[in-house]
Amino acid sequence: MDKTYEAIMARKNEILLKSVGLDYKEFENDGIGFDFEKMMDSTGYDYDLMETIQRDNGVGNTPLLDLKNITKLARKYAKPGYGAKILLKDEACNASGSFKARRASISVYHAKKLGFKGVIAATSGNYGAAVASQAAKHGLKCIIVQECYDSELKGQPEIIEKARKCEAFGAEVVRLTVGPELFYQLLLLLEETGYFNASLYTPFGIGGVETLGYELAIQTKEKYGKFPESVVCTNAGGGNLTGTARGLLRANADSLVIAASVNLSGLHMASDKDFNKKSFTTGHTGFGIPFSINPDRSDVPRSAGRPLRYMDEYYTVSQGEVFFVTEMLAELEGLERGPAGNTSLAVAFSLAQKMKEDEIIVVQETEYTGAGKHIQPQLSFAIENGINVEFGNPKDEVPGKSIILPRNPSLISARKLNIDDLRKSYLRSVIKVHSLTKNNLVDTDYLCEELRIDKNKLEKLLGEI
């Protein structure tokens, strides 16, 4: 078969249909939208079954920890009577060391059930380790396709560590330089091997995260007699927030769902030059914003991660703030955890100070740390790449130029994004792709669901753009 870029791309739909086992055409509406709930139901795995699969495979039922000392510190900077209790769901306790195990557990189980000999995932991160870990458990082969290096074959320490972890679980890691060939390589390997595409964005994966939201709601209620007022989710491709929010809804929890990302504005994710200028490889705005605005930019026709459907608020923090909070967690709570979860912790530390003392804010995940994920190699690598690292006010940090560690914890201050701006960007991209005008605007119900707004608001936003 012709293996040129053009030929493989032309066979894209056929390859995806065979390797995911879902016919996405079945969910499409006549207009521009699709039936999201039908897609989520199409997996055939209900909540109880997902929970059983996870329990059988070392996934889920993680502890909810009370960060007493960090809560005390937040109260020190809050007005009297303010400073919410900060709880932390310790997802590093999952088999592969992050919540991604919840996602991988259902995909890999499904691949095994369908008789696939192996699984493939394209990911630069914890998901690779999660798929590799679950594949090891089920005796399946595993290939992880990873963007590892810039054109000089220099790798970000965190990405190199994650590759190591995948290999430790017995996976083969295909290491690529940054660029557009990731998707091509994925399709090529899927076709050549006939393995299952354990994509991050299928309903199997996102469905698996629902247990996280449900568990944390029930654990909080059992211990503190109420659901948390707020839950903070680190946001990149949107699956973490989507799955967690759906789990909260299942528990009937009315918590605010808050997205958190590290601010990497100005750095281009597909740029060779910028690739090694960032100290965070996920949970940052370089993924969080584009995937919120256009979730279907993923490696399946319709992503099951659709964060604007569930997000109440969205905050960013700087790299320096997250490094600082990482050390805070270690030194005040005796917990050494990795960067992505600590992004939410930095946001929670700031927001807790504006909430009342009897309120609860939950940081919904931690991730494992080790080797290149640590602060030390990351800051050394940043300095090697010409980044200025200093103490000061984190609001002066310029991504790609400086990392500013807060001189004092009181300077940790999450910055709120305007979700209506994201909604307008979403609408602009839909209008462009589908050549919509005022006169042929279709599927307004779908747009309202996607953006979590009513028709009046939709009209207002359309008017503004």
Ligand X SMILES: Cc1ncc(COP(=O)(O)O)c(C=O)c1O
State the nearest-atom distance from the C-beta of 3 to ligand X, in Å.
Answer: 29
Least gap, CB of 159 to ligand X (angstroms): 11
The conformational region for residue 307 under phi > 0 = left, psi -120 to 50 = alpha, else beta, is alpha
Amino acid code (one letter) for 275 = F
The first and second tokens of residue 331, run together, are: 């030194």
Least distance to ligand X from the beta carbon of 246, Å? 13
Kindly give the residue spans of alpha helices, DSSP state H, lying in 334-418. Answer: 339-352, 375-384
Judged by beta carbon, residue 71 or residue 282, the one nearer ligand X is 282
Length of the chain: 465
Q: What angle do CA 269, 131, 342 make, to 5 degrees?
A: 55
Query: Residue 24 CB, nearest distance to ligand X (Å)?
Result: 19
C-beta of 365: minimal distance to ligand X in Å?
Answer: 6
Shortest distance, CB of residue 369 to ligand X, whole angstroms? Answer: 10
Nearer to ligand X, 333 or 365 (CB): 365
Query: Which is closer to ligand X, CB of 346 or CB of 411?
Result: 346
Q: Which residue's CB is nearer to ligand X, number 102 or number 423?
A: 102
Distances (CA, A) of 225 to 210, 218, 358, 360: 21, 10, 12, 11
Q: What residue type is 302 in one-letter code?
A: R
> Which of 155/305 has CB closer to ligand X?
305
Q: Tell me the one-letter amino acid at 10.
A: A
Neighbours of 374 (CB within 10 A): 18
Residues 422-453 as b or e (16 or more Cβ within 10 Å = b): bbbbbbeebeeeeebeeeebebeebbebbbbb
Q: Please give the C-alpha separations between residue 380 and each of 146, 148, 383, 407, in angstroms, as whole numbers.
A: 23, 18, 5, 19
Q: Which is nearer to ligand X, 175 or 354 (CB)?
A: 175
Min separation Cβ 77 and ligand X, Å: 26
Of 305 and 399, CB closest to ligand X: 305
Nearer to ligand X, 71 or 234 (CB): 234
* Interface positions with ligand X (CB under 6 A): 98, 100, 125-126, 234-240, 282-283, 305, 340-341, 365, 367
Smallest distance from ligand X to CB 340, Å:
3
List own/partner pairs for 68-77 with CB under 8 A and 24 or more apart.
68/333, 69/332, 69/333, 70/328, 70/329, 70/332, 70/333, 70/345, 70/349, 71/352, 73/328, 73/332, 73/349, 73/409, 74/349, 74/352, 74/353, 75/353, 75/357, 77/353, 77/409, 77/410
